[in-house]
Structure 1
Amino acid sequence: MTHRPPLAITCFAGAEAGEWRVDSNTPVVGAGLARVAHVAVGGADGVWTLNGTASHLRYTTAPERLALRARQEGLGRPGSTRAALIPIRKSEDWWAMAQDERRAIYDAGRHLPIGLDYLPGIARKLYHSRDLGEDFDFLTWFEFAPDQEAAFDQMLERLRACAEWAFVDREIDIRLTRS
């Protein structure tokens, strides 16, 4: 039997202190989260906590993975003083579909090509939460320089126009500035 290391869980804690100051906390679909002053990444205590794991790329083909690796830069760049934490939950109708049906909707909306249009200016990481029993299915984390905020807003507008967003039943847009 092969031993697998335990899942690395990342916690985003909405609290009164943390490395990221909350600029806005906007419910996009469904209920919002309590207002807090900061988000601590890796924090364990807060008014609310969101947990996720950065597992393997589930909807990405090998050529897509290569394209991402060629263009994407990592998180934590000194100039990336802005961030967005966007927790998303999809409807039970989404999860009732087979993997290939979900992938077809994902492809039809051109989700990945839209994201590629904004690399390397916007760095991102996806955390999976559904299998952890959390309130959200995904926690999307983005970091970017202040001059990339308009591009980030445009990217979100394009993504939210995709067919797969019809299956989102809860989404919150939390904008942050590094403290």
Structure 2
Amino acid sequence: MFTTFRGGSSGAWRVISMSPVTGETLPAVPSLSVTHAAAIALPLLPSSNAWRLAGVASHVRYVERNEKVALVAVQAGLGRPEASHAALIPIRKNAAWWDLTQNERRRIFEDKSRHIADSLKYLPAIARQLYHCRDLGEPFDFLTWFEFAPEHAAAFEELVAQLRGTEEWSYVEREADLRLVRERV
């Protein structure tokens, strides 16, 4: 199942901020639409969509069995009515990251950066989904999508700051940060 994010003039999510974190950002848009389908959704009309990003939710990577069990036990699903705030954070890592073996990436991801262990305390308040897009020819390697209720916005900011302060993030060469509010359920 592919997920396509289209930034443009319409969509269920209103963009409240867009900022470049590292590298080039995306063109500014007022809205975002999210489509889940068997194929990557094409742009509708050039005049209504400034950009399109697509990815696929895949199996969880870089986790050991006990970590996967812990994640599954506490994570919330997307689309909860109270989770009216969201963030789309597309990320591309540099060649040095991809030159590492999977075991080396795992050591940085969890053993050094504690990506899973330190993130668990934010679940289930913050629901998340990672979409892989590196092998699809997309401009980013990952599309990270988060949903949360307004009262958990400060916790989300804490989580993002914590992750960006890790060794893992030293490999990020492009990252944009879009914050959104659901327009309609």
- Give 2:8's aligned amino acid: A
1:132 aligns with 2:136: yes
Asked if 1:26 corresponds to 2:19, the answer is yes
What displacement does 1:44 show? 3.8
The 5-angstrom pairing of residues 1-179 of structure 1 reads: 8-42=1-35, 44-45=42-43, 46-107=49-110, 108-179=112-183
TM norm structure 1 = 0.94
Q: Which whole-Å CA distance do the structure 2 matches of 1:77 and 1:44 have between them?
A: 27
Q: What's the secondary structure of 1:78's corresponding residue? A: coil
Distance 1:80 1:44 in 2: 27
Give the distance between the partners of 1:44 and 1:176, measured in 2 at CA: 22
Secondary structure class of the residue paired with 1:117: helix
Q: Which runs of 5+ in 2 are unaligned?
A: 36-40, 44-48
Q: Is the 8 A contact 1:94 1:167 kept in 2?
A: yes
Amino acid at match of 2:179: R
Please list the CA deviations of residues 88-112 of structure 1 after superposition, one character each: whole Å capped at 9, or x if unmatched: 0000000001111111111211000
- What amino acid sits opposite 1:150 in the alignment? A
Distance 1:94 1:68 in 2: 24
In structure 2, how many angstroms separate the alpha carbons of the residues matched to 1:63 and 1:131? 28
| Letter in structure 1 aligned against 2:67 | E
* 1:13 to 1:111, Cα distance in 2 relative to 1, 3 A: same
CA deviations 1:114-155 (Å, max 9, x no partner) are: 210101100000000001111100000000000100000000
Number of residue pairs aligned between Structure 1 and Structure 2: 172
Q: Deviations over 1:27-84 (max 9, x none)?
A: 0000000000100001642210000000111112111111011111100001000000
* Identical aligned residues as a percent: 52
Report the TM-score, using the length of structure 2 for normalisation.
0.91
Between 160-169 and 54-63, the greater mean CA deviation after superposition: 54-63
Listed as ranges, the gaps of 5+ residues in structure 1 are: 1-7
Give secondary structure in 2 for the equivalent of 1:65.
helix
